[in-house]
Amino acid sequence: MANDFSIIIPTFHEAMNIPELARRIAAVNFGERLFEVLLIDDNSNDGSLEIVNELAKQYPWLKMIVRREGRDHGQSIITGFQQASYPVLITMDADLSHPPEKIPFMLAMLDEARVDVVLGSRYVRGGSIDNKWPFFRKISSKLAAWISRLVLAGRIRDPLSGFLAIRKTTWQNGDPLTPIGWKIGLELMVKCHCKNIREIPIHFSERCLGKSKLNFEISFVYLYHVMKLVKYKIAGVSPRKTRHNC
């Protein structure tokens, strides 16, 4: 069906979070929609694959694809898009920061033909972030969102959310993605020429288990990524009209 969906989750050293993530997804009522969960793992070698293989006996929709080309968050998501069996793509993190219970609401919004992308947003009314976040992280997250306005038209409150829903055809009809760093959502919205971007409120929980892979260097990579997107926008939209992302 046109609204069946694939949930793409990049993972690195998330063995501890995978069972609870699968349990939370299994508990959500997705109605008649078919779905799969693709965990795209950068060769964690921490027992994740064995855990997934065991869980898949109970949850046949759960799969892990192990990439052995080195760590690359953005490329992992693209691999997930390429392997996805269903026409709607959802991206989220594995550490339970993004509530899977919001997915039915995101899908319902994306069912509206003119909506291009739905973001799970921390910064719209009703959204929130974990109060464990230090002041510096709050400020830098808002600043990063503000900087993204250089490449995104309109007032999007949480353009850097890693929790989003998009149609596969929107991605396929866009220009080729070459993300660096972590903000593939921004890359997608710019290069797939998304105009109608909707946000729904989420509570972003801080991870309870495992370690964040975010580091200071990622902030500089983000600035470089935005600069590349600015250059892309100035150069104009690719004249090629064929499908690029398959």
Please report, as ranges, the residues that interact with Mg ion according to CB under 5 A.
Answer: 93, 95, 97, 207
CA distances for 243 relative to 6, 232, 236, angstroms:
20, 18, 17
Nearer to Mg ion, 93 or 158 (CB): 93
Among 3, 10, 81, 120, binds ligand GDP (CB under 6 A): 10
CA dihedral 65, 70, 76, 82 (to 10 degrees): -70
Nearer to ligand GDP, 13 or 233 (CB): 13
Residues in CB range of 110: below 8 A, 6 or more apart: 3, 88, 117, 118, 165, 166, 167
| Interface with ligand GDP, residue 187, by CB under 6 A | no
Kindly indicate which of the ranges 37-45, 58-66, 136-144, 231-239 contains the residues binding ligand GDP, using the contact rule CB under 6 A.
Answer: 37-45
- Judged by DSSP in three states, 156 sits in coil
Among 143, 214, 223, 230, binds ligand GDP (CB under 6 A): 214
CA distances for 174 relative to 21, 63, 169, 201, angstroms:
31, 27, 8, 27
- Alpha-carbon torsion 146, 194, 172, 109, what sign? positive
Using CB under 6 A, count the residues that bind ligand GDP. Answer: 19
From the list Mg ion, ligand GDP, none, which binds 71 (C-beta under 5 to 8 Å, kind-based)?
ligand GDP
Residues in CB range of 3: below 8 A, 6 or more apart: 33, 87, 88, 107, 110, 111
Nearer to Mg ion, 95 or 158 (CB): 95
Among 48, 73, 168, 225, binds ligand GDP (CB under 6 A): 73
Nearer to Mg ion, 41 or 93 (CB): 93
| Interface with ligand GDP, residue 158, by CB under 6 A | no
Instruction: Catalog residues that contact ligand GDP under the rule CB under 6 A.
Output: 9-12, 14, 40-42, 71, 73, 76, 93-95, 97, 207, 212-214
